[in-house]
Amino acid sequence: MATVALVIVAAAAVFQAAFLLRRENRRDPVSHWMLAAAAVLLLLTLARRSLQIRFAAITSTYEALLFFAAALCVVLFILRVVRRTQGFSPFVLFGATVVAVGLLALSSSPLAPPGIHPPIPALRSYWLVLHVALSFIGEAFFVVSFVAAVAWQVVREEDRRAELDRLVAAAIGVGYPVFTLGALVFGAIWAETAWGAWWSWDPKETWALVTWLVYTAYLHSRLVKSLRGQVSSWLAIAGFAATAFTFLGVNFLLAGLHSYG
Amino acid sequence: PDSARAAHVATQAIRAMDRLVFIPGRLYSQVCPFWAAYSSDGSIATVLPWGIVSAVRIRGAARAALASITSTLTSIPLALGLIAGIIVLAALSTVVPQGMDPAWYGAHFPPLVAAVIRAVRFDVFFRSAVFLGLAGLLVLNLGFCTVTRVVRRAARHAPVRVGPDLVHLGLLVLAVSGIATGLGRREQTLAMVEGDAAGIGSGYHLALRSLQFLAYADGSPRDWISTVGITREGRPEVVVAPIRVNHPLRLPGITVYQSGWDVSGTLRLRDKSGAEVTPPQPGDYFRVGDSVWVFAGFQRDGTAWSAAFNRYEDRELVERRSVRPGDSVGPFTVEAVEAHDRTGLKVVHDPGLAPFLAALLLVTAGMSLTFLQKRRDPS
Ligand code: HEM
């Protein structure tokens, strides 16, 4: 089912690209429905795995990637339906859909083995489930802010920039509190109940903090006139780079570094 | 009507929160009109320090210097600079393995880099003066900002967004909890088999009554449960409670966590002459011809225990064998397999835990409010 979802999301991206190339700046009428369908498929896949292990299936890298992609598709669908104007342009939708394709492609690569394993004792906690789920929902909004910030760098017209700037701020305005609650608050509560220490500075935690601080810097940079615009936009881009590194870089690169070190 | 009601409740909640911050600020400005006057003109964001300055009658250049220090400490660009510094160094610290032996850095980095790492304590970055200094300055910065905003608002009677203030206040409480944890945390790990007992501090005494190991169908661990009886000095009652992974036992002053599980035991072997040999530890090995037998540890075998051995030839595993009393392995005969499940319990006393939870609540409430207030007033 996850493969079918990948095909659907990729087809949605192709469709969006075709519309973009016609340069009418019109939204295509179907791709967001394709994203919704993919999200349903992904969530069904996770539901089936959950029934098999009798616990929320969100504990392996594979499952996390599927959940992240599903959350992103849902967020894009909602934004497409609700936010009719104000910067949520076909380009932003396309860029974010490409990120979803990337996540699903990664989930079907050997880096994320799809084997089903029941969770080890430390992972059997609903704090962990809240922690992971809300972190990824927050990060789905960060994807939107990232693509909008890239678009801000690309376009030159002032009005479009202003719209994109509002979209970046709105996406981070939702993503930041959700990510804070998921990654830091619930993460710390889970760590405390599982290990008896709410913070231990392991690389994953440190990178989650770095990500959070970059977005904190983004929010405060908007309060300083001279930083609003260029600097804020780069911070939104850097924030997503940190998000991606926290999720993937720490798992795939730092672990390697330690085992060779 | 329902949504109108919900909006009404939300408005009331926001007002109540606003009061929470407004009233102390108002009181402050009543009691100290001088400071409030400074803050109300809004030119310099300085409140508390100015009160002290005026109380001890500092004048002239010293006063100007203090003014510039306090306004720097209240500035957002300073906050951004400090945050940027922490971001860069914290990110770097994840590529420099932390807490290794000093010699390790010499062996893995060019001499100059290793020397810098050792000099600035980048090997224990989050305990180093550099990090604590940056974090301390940020907290100071945050304190100045928060107090200034709260008092200035009260003096102006201006209802401003209270959400960010609660977030900032929560972060200050977080800093307090970090300090309390850093200074007052005590931690002890116990490895116990059924029947063991130990004093665990704060006047408590813990006895391990039973142990349970739950496994999934494939044999992998699902949960470890230690049932303990706890008494406190001078009190007759015994608290009997199960401690599971993710379900610690919380008592006034201490928390006990299920932190590990292993098997401890003694494998008694006799050699060909019938003499008992020194019991091997897991990992010990002996050679027979071309084979090497490695003692891999104890295994549950139904209700009894057996000892697991692996035989290697040319470094390749060629046989696994589990032996019980009476069996033989290489030149030895198994006399007895005496093994016990052993639990790992972690006992923690952390005075920072309560302020930590309070900080999380404040930050969560503050962010929710910020979000609601932004939606009502997107400007
Ligand atoms: C790690 C440190 C900090 C965190 C996590 C933090 C967090 C926040 C958050 C979540 C907001 C709401 C922003 C929004 O959603 O628009 C905010 C606003 C604000 N923060 Fe901070 N903050 C921090 C440090 C500081 C410092 C040190 C200062 C002062 C120098 C400061 C000054 C402000 C101001 C003036 C606002 C705007 C309030 C408003 O919109 O009415 N913050 N902060």
Region of B97 on the Ramachandran plot (φ > 0 left; ψ -120 to 50 alpha; else beta): beta
Task: Verify whether the Cβ–Cβ distance B348 to A188 is below 8 Å.
Answer: no
C-alpha B77 to ligand 1 mean position (Å): 12
Task: Verify whether the Cβ–Cβ distance A177 to B84 is below 8 Å.
Answer: no
Q: What is the 3-state secondary structure (H, E, C) of chain B?
A: CHHHHHHHHHHHHHHHHHHHHHHHHHHHHHHCHHHHHHHHHCCCCCCHHHHHHHHCCCCHHHHHHHHHHHHHHCCHHHHHHHHHHHHHHHHHHCCCCCCCCHHHHHHHCCHHHHHHHHHCCHHHHHHCHHHHHHHHHHHHHHHHHHHHHHHHHHHHCCCCCCHHHHHHHHHHHHHHHHHHHHHHCEEEEEEECCCCEEEEECCEEEEEEEEEEEECCCCCEEEEEEEEEEEECCCCCCEEEEEECCECEEECCEEEEEEEEEEEEEEEEECCCCCECCCCCCCCEEEECCEEEEEEEEEEECCEEEEEEEEEECCEEEEEEEECCCCEECCEEEEEEEEEEEEEEEEEECCCHHHHHHHHHHHHHHHHHHHHHHHHCCC
**∠ CA B280-B286-B288, rounded to 5°:** 145
Residue B373, pLDDT score: 80
Please indicate whether residue B167, judged by its CB atom, sits closer than 6 Å to ligand 1.
yes
Task: Verify whether the Cβ–Cβ distance B87 to A194 is below 8 Å.
Answer: no
Ligand 1 atom with the shortest distance to the CA of B74: 30
Task: Verify whether the Cβ–Cβ distance B76 to A223 is below 8 Å.
Answer: yes
Q: Please check whether residue A82 touches B, CB under 8 A.
A: no
Instruction: Evaluate whether ipTM surpasses 0.90.
Output: yes
Helices B2-31 and B33-41 pack at an angle, to 10 degrees, of 120
* Chain A partners within 8 Å of B353 (Cβ): 192, 198
Residue type, B260: G
3-state class (DSSP) for residue B272: coil
3-state class (DSSP) for residue B251: strand
Of B221, B255, B371, nearest to A177 by CB-CB distance is: B371
* Chain B partners within 8 Å of A127 (Cβ): 246
Please indicate whether residue B82, judged by its CB atom, sits closer than 6 Å to ligand 1.
no
Q: Which among A116, A129, A119, A136 has a CA at the least distance from the CA of A48?
A: A116
Per-residue pLDDT of chain B (379 residues; tens, 9 = 90+): 666 776 677 666 656 655 665 555 555 555 444 444 444 333 334 445 555 555 455 555 666 666 677 777 888 899 999 999 999 999 999 988 888 888 888 888 898 999 899 888 998 899 899 999 999 999 999 998 888 787 777 666 666 678 898 999 999 999 999 999 999 999 999 999 888 989 998 889 999 998 988 888 877 888 889 999 999 888 888 889 999 999 999 988 899 999 888 888 899 999 888 899 999 988 899 988 889 999 998 988 777 889 999 999 988 999 999 999 989 888 899 999 998 889 999 999 999 999 999 999 999 999 999 988 877 765 5
Least Cα separation, residue B8 to chain A (angstroms): 22
Q: Whose CA is nearest to atom 19 of ligand 1?
A: B164
* Chain A partners within 8 Å of B94 (Cβ): 203, 206-207, 250, 254
B-chain residue closest to A226, CA distance: B77
